Chain A
Amino acid sequence: MNPVKFSPLFLLTLCAVTTFASAADASPPADARVAQHYAIGKISTPPGVDPQLGGLALLPDGRLAAAFHHGQVAFYDFKTLSWKIFAEGLHEPLGLLLGQDGSLLVMQRPELTRLRDTDGDGVADRYEALWDDFGMTGNYHEFAFGPVRGPNGKLYVSLNLASAGDTIREEIRGEWSPIGLSREKFYDIADWKKNSTAAGRMYGRVKWRGCIMEIDETTGAAELFATGFRSPDGMGFDAAGNFFINDNQGDWRGTSPVHVVQRGGFYGHPASLVWRPDWEGTEPLKLPIEKLNALRTVAAINLPHSVYASSPTEMILIPQTAAWGPFGGQMIVGEMNSGRVLRLLPEQVDGVWQGACVSFVDSQALRGGIHRLLFVGDTLYLGRTHLIWAGGEGIGTVKLTKTPFEALTMHATPHGFRFTFTAPLAAGAAEPARWPVRRYYYKYHEPYGSPQTELTQITPSKVTVSADGLSADVAFADLKPGFIYDFNLSGLTSKQGESPLNPAIAYSLNKVPTK
């Protein structure tokens, strides 16, 4: 900080700043206020079936398909409000997708499976292995997510790393990578605490762990698509076909990232590098950080840990219908640890992906564990789960009843950010003190998580509000790429006197636009 002499007038301004900042508590909105804008409800789950959800899909006949923790897939008829079991006995199914041939695709721990009802009795009688050419050590953390279908018609699945919270089973499936701690050490359980450190907090010693795989829906032929993931629960595409994948805070994940993924890319967690065909045998954990930094693509959007999200989940697009008002077309993501769904506002700036996250619906009425998202008609369905972690159960529903006052979009500009709002800003919005920002970044390193680093409280140098009050340009004297600009907009009000329902919005600035 530069030493500055304060004039009395400046001190007065500073007091005003303080007033705004202390009023500017960006805590989640009161549930009662959320209820004025969103109708939150639920539907039943099948009787006798564990109500933890791994997948949701919409069938061509309008029924809802849901996959459950104990391995059932069941169909919900919106007309009769009743469930019918379609398939049973799957191993931790964590994704459902309608097949192009009318079958139902389900990703279970050991396999991407195609379920078929060949005799037309409404119950699956064929459980076909579409793709299972990936490794399993039996470690509990080797979850398998997907599939999603890309604009090229290919399927994509993501495979979790194993956790040092446990070792590997005696019998494993698939090839073992010799790169890293020797396999015998994985069986030296008495010393597992020490050995697990050498194994890596999360490890991927069998094939395609920590990778994104591309699979041909007809032949089951698979190809490595991208590396560098840890526990990538959420995959989705934007309207232009860009591929978004998120991951969970942990080792090498200072906070939960959202990546825009390209073929051949590496996205930060080093364990899966051993599965790159060009990998020459160096143990990824021993690579200098500069080397990893040179290899990796940084997150497009960082979800600040525990404030915005702790465990992000499925990402889908809000339908562009009148029911969803101005939010139509935007991307949303679920969150396990609180009753929250967030909006993501990605953009590409001079070839680099970046953008903001902001809560969409944040209410204890949503409960936690929001794992799978699906729009059916005007309703957003939320499938919850928890396993041994924070979360919830059952299927929730959300409808927009009255558009709240919110920051609608946020774009980087050469000097700061341009916001648009769902309703015109009231007078006074041009006061920079109403736009306090916490600026920080999360470290890229092996330890679990990261503190908010180089945290500085800043205010814009200038705010210009458009004549219609619907947008504002917020400029900073010193715009720093590599930082998260975490705005607290609770000092703003609309012309109707509303404050933003979700005032916290955080932009991950990777690149300052040149124009």
Chain B
Amino acid sequence: MRFFYLLVLAVTLTSSGLLAQTAPTPKAKAAPAKKPRIVKMFMRDGLRFEPPRLVAEPGEQIVVEIENNDSTDQTHNFVLLRPGTRDAVVQAGLALAEKGPALEYVPPSADVLVHSRLLAAEGSGSIAFTVPTTPGIYPYVCTFPGHGMIMYGALYAGVTPPPIEKDPNILPMVAQGAVAGGGQRPFAQRIFMPDAGPAAVAIALVGSQNVCWDAGQCRLRYAWQGSFIDASENWAGNGKILPIVPTKPWWRAPKDDFPLRFGAVDSAAPKVKFLGYAATTTGPVFHYRAGETEVYEHVLPAAGRPGIALRLQIPRATGLVFYRAAADPNAQWTSSAGTWRDGVLILTPAQAADVTLTLTSALCTP
């Protein structure tokens, strides 16, 4: 239980109440009472709601537990609105002028569905309500004067939200904050990733390419072009919800095939041990041991072509090194050294000391 304090308001709006106006659908006869879902909402520095969007089922009972954690001592409220009325309500809030404080800056408007009290910094409260039964995108906003122009988010009721960076209902600056690394490139984020082992690394390369590298298996798993991962749901929860890879990967490694072999192409896959990485201005240089052999693997954008590159440095190879590049009809492997035979790159120890493999695809755009 929370023992938070200050302004606490529990508003229960049943479908027979205020929200019935937005609920033209005939209501079903009393469904068995379900415990309302608790959703947390934080007011943060820089006039932000965290999370910037909520997803709910039409007609769902939810309780939004709100905390004002703005360390700059700003006062905020949380006002849920009818679709498409955000600008109008913000303007109406400003127009309250000297009447504002008495109304806690919430304009008397039919477009306001439900709202919290005005929360001083470190204040908290909760509002319980039924999500409108009409599917739609319901904005939420802080109507404190001057805040509403940027401090807003959206409740998606029965509507699938678009990728966050393309969401017109989210301030672009906030949407960028949901993208791991906040738009930095290169950037490496260790996080659970779809279609990989649990010790995964998501990497935003300089340019527009991104890869998933598996630190448990010490190998590249897939590559995609465009936006980096949206980790907002993963971070807003306990880690259960995987980050979103916003575009379909243009290349994937086969599931269980470590690509390097030493001595013979068909030798058993060596046991790998991850040793870490160096953060460089051109992307991470992974360091691992494959069997007894130390490998450095620098993940980079492909030079002059759309795609990615792996610069492998195996300083102490004692025999031939084989890189079993997985066949993919949409992707082409090339290398700065070595001999290709049946999709396998064969490297002498000298070549293996420093070789760059490039992976390009017609599915990538320059």
Contact = CB atoms under 8 A, between A and B. Distances in A.
Interface of A: 42, 44-45, 47-48, 50-51, 69-71, 88-92, 108-111, 113-114, 124-129, 132, 136-138, 140-142, 165-166, 169, 171-173, 306, 337-339, 364, 367-368, 386-390, 392-394
A126 B190 contact: no
A339 B275 contact: no
List the 6 shortest-distance A-B pairs measured between CB atoms, nearest first: A110-B199, A91-B190, A138-B198, A128-B276, A136-B198, A140-B240
B169 interface: no
Contacts of B149: none
12 contacts: A51-B69, A88-B187, A89-B201, A90-B190, A91-B191, A92-B239, A110-B190, A110-B199, A126-B279, A140-B238, A171-B196, A368-B2
B190 A70 contact: no
Contacts of A138: 192, 197-198
B3 A364 contact: yes
B278 A126 contact: yes
Contacts of A110: 190, 198-199, 215-216
A247 to B, nearest CB: 18
B182 interface: yes
B215 A128 contact: no
Nearest to B215: A110
A48 B182 contact: yes
Given A128-B276, A169-B192, A388-B236, 9 more contacts: A48-B46, A50-B50, A89-B180, A89-B201, A109-B199, A111-B199, A171-B216, A364-B3, A387-B238
Contacts of A91: 189-192, 199
B275 A128 contact: yes
A84 B276 CA distance: 23
A132 B71 contact: no
Given A110-B199, A390-B1, A124 B279 contact: yes
Interface in B27-41: 40
Contacts of B40: 386, 388
Contacts of B180: 70, 89
A320 B92 CA distance: 58
Nearest to B240: A140
Interface in B1-44: 1-5, 40, 42, 44
Contacts of A108: 190
A165 B239 CA distance: 12
Q: Is the interface of A mostly helix, strand, loop or mixed?
A: loop
B69 A393 contact: yes
Nearest to A91: B190
Contacts of A114: 276
Interface in B182-240: 182, 187-192, 196-199, 201, 215-216, 231, 235-240
Given A48-B46, A89-B187, A91-B191, A368 B235 contact: no
A45 B71 contact: yes
A51 B198 contact: no
Contacts of A306: 1
B279 A127 contact: yes
Contacts of B100: none
Interface of B: 1-5, 40, 42, 44-46, 50, 67, 69, 71, 122, 177, 180-182, 187-192, 196-199, 201, 215-216, 231, 235-240, 274-280
Contact of A367 (B42, B122, B215, B276): B122
Contact of B198 (A42, A166, A172, A388): A172
B114 to A, nearest CB: 23
Contacts of B237: 140, 387-388
Contacts of B44: 51
Nearest to A362: B3
B198 A89 contact: no
Contacts of B42: 393
A172 B196 CA distance: 9
Contacts of B71: 42, 44-45, 51, 394
| Residue of A45, A47, A113, A367 contacting most chain B CB atoms (<10 Å) | A367
A69 B199 contact: no
Contacts of A367: 4, 122
Given A47-B46, A69-B235, A393-B69, A127 B189 contact: no
Contacts of B45: 47
A388 B233 CA distance: 11
A338 B3 contact: yes
Nearest to B236: A388
A173 B4 CA distance: 40
A144 to B, nearest CB: 11
Contact of B240 (A126, A166, A393): A166
A364 B198 CA distance: 38
B220 to A, nearest CB: 15
A485 to B, nearest CB: 26
A90 B158 CA distance: 34
Contacts of A45: 71
Nearest to B231: A70
A78 B278 CA distance: 29
A390 B2 contact: yes
Contacts of A337: 1-3
A50 B235 contact: yes
A205 to B, nearest CB: 13
Contacts of A137: 198
A113 B215 CA distance: 13
| Residue of A44, A47, A108, A138 contacting most chain B CB atoms (<10 Å) | A138
B279 A125 contact: yes
A169 B195 CA distance: 9
A64 to B, nearest CB: 16
A207 to B, nearest CB: 13
A89 B4 contact: no
Contacts of B198: 109-110, 136-138, 142, 169, 171-173
Contacts of B216: 110, 136, 171, 173
B68 to A, nearest CB: 11
Contacts of A109: 190, 198-199, 239
B291 to A, nearest CB: 16
Contact of A132 (B69, B199, B280): B199
| Residue of A42, A44, A173 contacting most chain B CB atoms (<10 Å) | A173
Given A88-B187, A337-B1, A364-B3, A113 B240 contact: no
A88 B1 contact: no
Given A48-B182, A70-B235, A364 B5 contact: yes
Nearest to B279: A125
Contacts of B231: 70
A339 B69 contact: no
B215 to A, nearest CB: 6
A368 B4 contact: yes
A109 B279 CA distance: 19
B238 A394 contact: no
Given A70-B231, A393-B69, A368 B3 contact: yes
Contacts of B177: 48
A89 B279 CA distance: 11
Contacts of A88: 181, 187, 189
Contacts of A165: 240
Contacts of B4: 364, 367-368
A231 to B, nearest CB: 12
Contacts of B192: 91, 138, 169
Contacts of B276: 113-114, 126-129
Given A44-B71, A171-B198, A337-B1, A140 B46 contact: no
A141 B182 CA distance: 26
A68 B235 CA distance: 11
A45 B72 CA distance: 11
A48 B50 CA distance: 12
